[in-house]
Each structure stands twice: as structure tokens, then as C-alpha cells.
A and B are shown apart, each in its own frame.
Chain A
Amino acid sequence: GENVEQHPSTLSVQEGDSAVIKCTYSDSASNYFPWYKQELGKRPQLIIDIRSNVGEKKDQRIAVTLNKTAKHFSLHITETQPEDSAVYFCAATDRVTGTASKLTFGTGTRLQVTL
């Protein structure tokens, strides 16, 4: 099955700086890579996703890049704000095996944006 590694586990940046979180995956057949933000005690919420036929996607201050050859993808947050503080999870889709596809999550990155 799929294995997703995520780094760093914690990240502290000053407000206004950029934050980068990196993930690698093992299954070359994976084709969907979402990023979820989870605030303390709340549900994971999708913030951006990318499919394997695209190399980069941007939504305002958030961007994701995908390198299929190297099997890694990254989340970039620019002009960070205190409300960006949360735990971020990357994920990759396990191959479809005749049932629904499944997500394998990375271990999470706790982002702290300081004033």
C-alpha cells in the first residue's frame, strides 16, 4: 500500500513569512494529492488539492507543487497570518482496487505563525 512521509513535524514562522511543507509518497499509481488543515478540536478541511496530470496549482496565498518523477509534493503558504496556525496533513490516494479509493495521510505538520 501507499506510504506517505511528511516533513517537518513542526514549523514556526513569523507572520508574513512563507512556510513550506514537504511530502513524499511511495506508490507511483497515486493520482490525487490533497492537503488538509486541522485546527485544534476541529475537523480536517481541504485547503488545496492537485492531480497527477498537473505540476502546480495556486489558490491565493496557497500553492501546491507535484513532482511525479521524484514522487514528492509540497505545500507553500505565503504571507502567513496567525490564523494559518494549525496542523496540516498531506495525503495521497491509494490505487483504486475495485472499491473506493482511499487516502493515506502523512504524519502532519504543526505550523505556528508568531507575531
Chain B
Amino acid sequence: DAMVIQNPRYQVTQFGKPVTLSCSQTLNHNVMYWYQQKSSQAPKLLFHYYDKDFNNEADTPDNFQSRRPNTSFCFLDIRSPGLGDAAMYLCATSRDKVGREQFFGPGTRLTVL
């Protein structure tokens, strides 16, 4: 029973062509996170939502945007993908503000041609 679902699992886009990745959750968690993970590296937090409050990491490029229309869904928009944006994008959720387990989705692997 999938709890954090990401679509698509694999996404191929062209250099500069906008792309949207989606995440949904059945856990009813307050917090949703987006991470970028490149090969052999740790996940890097891009931003997170606590309910509707959006929190951007200081070093997240402007090229990356996010939307959370409701509790269950969160989207990652990459406005003009570059070759350096090719990575695995992981969505995660957690229950509340205090340090809690983060549940990760299966990820979307983005290829930029």
C-alpha cells in the first residue's frame, strides 16, 4: 500500500523545456519535502511545506518552484531544466513540526537531453 506516490517514475525532458513532477500522499501528513539526489550523493533539500506555508532553502535555484494545492498533493516545477538538473527527485512527508520520521516516495528520475 503506497503511502507516498510519485509520478512519473521516469521523466525525460529537453534542455529548457519545463517539466512538472508530482507527489501525493495518503498519510495526511502536514509536512511535504522535495529533495534532489544526484548519483552517489546525499539527498539535498530544495524546499518544504508545512501545511500551506512554503519554505525555500537559501541555495535552491529560482528555476525550481513548488505548489501544494491541498494536503495530499505537492508539485515540483522546473521552469527551464539544464543538464545539471538531471537527478533523482524525492518527495517525503512527515507528521508535524517536531523531528519525526520522514517517509520517502520512490522518486522520479529526471533525464535532461
Contacts and interface: CB of A to CB of B under 8 A. Distances in A.
A34 B101 contact: yes
Contacts of A45: 104
Interface size band for A: 20 to 34
A101 interface: yes
B50 interface: yes
Nearest to A32: B99
A96 B98 contact: yes
B42 A100 contact: no
B30 A100 contact: yes
Contacts of B107: 42-43
Interface of B: 30-31, 33, 40-43, 45, 48, 50, 53, 55, 90, 94, 96-102, 104-107
Contact of B42 (A89, A96, A102): A89
B106 A101 contact: no
Contacts of A103: 45, 102
Overall SS of chain A's interface: loop
Contacts of B45: 102-103
B99 A43 contact: no
A34 B42 CA distance: 14
A16 to B, nearest CB: 27
Given A43-B104, A43-B105, A43-B106, A101 B41 contact: no
A99 interface: yes
Given A99-B55, A108-B41, A44 B90 contact: yes
Contact of A96 (B90, B97, B102, B106): B97
A100 B48 contact: yes
A99 B99 contact: no
B104 to A, nearest CB: 4
